[in-house]
Amino acid sequence: MGETRPNLCFLGEVPYPELRGLLAQADVGLIPFRGKVARGVDPIKYYDYLAAGLPAVATTVLAELQDRPHVFQAKPRRFARAGRGAGGRGILPAGRRRAALEGNTWDDRAEALIRLWKENP
C-alpha cells in the first residue's frame, strides 16, 4: 500500500452495516478520484460521508462535487492540507444534512431516469 502514516488506516472493503460505526470515528472523508474516467462519475462516497455529517475532501477532477455542502476540493499536491482544514470544520448539523441529501435517493434517481426515458422515446 505504499507509505504508512499513524493517522491513516487502510481498511479495504468494509461491509455496509459496519460503515456507520467506522465513519463515526473519522474526522474527514476522502474522495481521491483521478483521471479522465473520474470526470463522469457520481461519487457515492460523498453521500455516505454527508449522511454521517463528515466533511469530505475531493480532488478537483470531480466537477460533480463543486459547490456541494461540506466538500473541500483540492489538487493532489494540496490534498493533505485540505484534509487538515476540513477536519477542523466538525460535523454538519442534521438539518443541513437532510436538506443536502433530499432528491438524492435511489427512488428519486429512478424516477428521473423513467421521466427522461418517457420524454425521449
Does pTM surpass 0.85? Answer: no
Mean of the pLDDT values across residues 98-119?
83
pLDDT, tens only, 50-94: 888 888 888 887 777 777 777 777 777 777 777 776 766 667 777
* pLDDT at 87 (0 to 100): 67
User: Above 80 in pLDDT, residue 119?
Assistant: yes
User: Could you tell me the three cell numbers for 64?
Assistant: 460533480
pLDDT > 90 in the chain, percent:
3
| DSSP codes joined into one string, 63-82 | GGGTT-TTEEEE-GGGHHHH
Cβ within 8 Å of residue 94, ≥6 positions away: 53
Mean of the pLDDT values across residues 10-27?
84
* pLDDT at 120 (0 to 100): 85
Q: Measure the CA–CA gap between 58 and 75, rounded to whole angstroms.
A: 8
Taking a C-beta distance cutoff of 8 angstroms, is the pair 51, 101 a contact? yes
